[in-house]
Structure 1
Amino acid sequence: MRKLSWVDLFLVLFLYFISIYSLYSHMNNKWLVSPPNYVILILSILGLALAILGFKDTSNKSTKVRSWISTVLSVVLIFILLGALSFTSIFSGSKQLLTTTHSPDKHNTISFYKTDAGAMGSFGVVGELKGPLWFKRVFYYEGKTDQVDLEWVDNHTISINDQKVNVSSGEMVRRSP
């Protein structure tokens, strides 16, 4: 049981790290390597269950303290994730797949989506560079358009609506009409 409280504490701290990195990557258009928020929520609920099981071990005081810390951190993280999931489901608008393209050497996969925020914002096109597993990075946004005209120039450069973009540079390209 003593090992269980350590495992749970490290699990909860790891979930906090993943959640903070997910927020950072969304804000700075970096590679999103964390799993979707609902997976983190499920793991947080598992962490809460493990923390509650940790209260059964009464061998020393530090085990109880770890269980209390894990419980409090898990509950806080669960409420934060529930708030984030409900906020994004209400206010995210629609996202519709327009096309998916592969580079000539098949190393890069890019999906373009039409986004529409409805009454809360504008519409446009978003390009996401796909990575392994669920990894992805938004690298292109063009407002007030609902179509994309694509042509690969080479293995790392694509022409999108007459703008050349290097997908391996790591930069975000924003276009406004």
Structure 2
Amino acid sequence: MGEKYNLWSFYLILVCLGLAAYSLYSNMNNTWLIAPPNYILLLISLIALTLGVIGLKDKRNWWAKTRSWFTIIISTLTSIGLFLVVSFTLFFSSMGSDEHIQTFSSPGDKYNIDFYRYDAGAAGSFGVRGEINGPLWFKKRIYLQHNTEQVEVEWENNEKLSINNHILNLDEGETYGYH
């Protein structure tokens, strides 16, 4: 019975690590965010930890034992890291605010962009952020402008738009305000 849990926990933590790494990469490089939210990744790592502990019963060979201990150690570290990220996010998001301003759709409904007004309060700045929504929880941040509260959007065609006088071609993956 432990052998199934041993293998499942190992694969689950590898998937969780891959998704967490891609989430970090996509936030740093403004690519499509396809990883689930961090609290879901935390749940996956806790499930992997639980299955890894149950998988310790698998004592068939040294590889099974090593895999179980590797899974337990990695899932514990991943769970702690994700718990800190989720806690940090909850703490600082409660200090500031995120307010949905408006959703703009391209003329052919190819793109839907949600704009949010953010204010970090005393901990940071304020401004406007724009995100393209994809399927499920997928999204891509395309626009960030500090020290403004309004957003003016004008579509030139189905792929090109002007946001507060900054022209973006969405088919070419252009963004504004992100480095």
- TM superposition score normalised by structure 2: 0.92
- For residue 60 of structure 1, report the CA deviation from its aligned partner: 2.1
Write 1 or 2 for the structure with the bigger share of helix.
2
- Which residue does 1:2 correspond to in 2? 3
Letter in 1 for 2:125: S
1:46-75: per-residue Cα shift (whole Å, max 9, x none)? 101110110122222221111111111111
Separation of aligned partners in 1, 2:64 and 2:136: 36
- For residue 171 of structure 1, report the CA deviation from its aligned partner: 2.5
- Structure 2: 5+ residue runs without aligned partners? none
Q: How high is the sequence identity, in percent, across the aligned residues?
A: 42
- For residue 29 of structure 1, report the CA deviation from its aligned partner: 1.0
- For residue 123 of structure 1, report the CA deviation from its aligned partner: 0.7
1:139-165: per-residue Cα shift (whole Å, max 9, x none)? 111111111111211101112122221
Choose from 101, 108, 129 the match for 2:104.
101
Separation of aligned partners in 2, 1:48 and 1:32: 25
Separation of aligned partners in 1, 2:145 and 2:59: 59
- Structure 1: 5+ residue runs without aligned partners? none
Choose from 142, 165, 174 the match for 1:171.
174
- Which residue does 2:162 correspond to in 1? 159
Alignment of 1:76 onto 2:77: yes
Separation of aligned partners in 1, 2:60 and 2:131: 51
Q: How does 1:50-69 map to 2 (within 5 A)?
A: 50-69=51-70
- Which residue does 2:147 correspond to in 1? 144
Q: SS of 1:20's equivalent?
A: helix
- Which residue does 1:44 correspond to in 2? 45
- For residue 96 of structure 1, report the CA deviation from its aligned partner: 0.8
Separation of aligned partners in 1, 2:102 and 2:34: 23
Separation of aligned partners in 2, 1:44 and 1:163: 41
Alignment of 1:125 onto 2:128: yes
RMSD between superposed Cα atoms in Å: 1.4
Q: SS of 1:168's equivalent?
A: helix
Separation of aligned partners in 2, 1:18 and 1:51: 19
Letter in 2 for 1:128: E
- Which residue does 1:26 correspond to in 2? 27
- Which residue does 1:111 correspond to in 2? 114
- TM superposition score normalised by structure 1: 0.93
- For residue 91 of structure 1, report the CA deviation from its aligned partner: 2.3
Separation of aligned partners in 1, 2:98 and 2:71: 36
Separation of aligned partners in 2, 1:171 and 1:117: 26
How many residues were matched structurally? Answer: 175
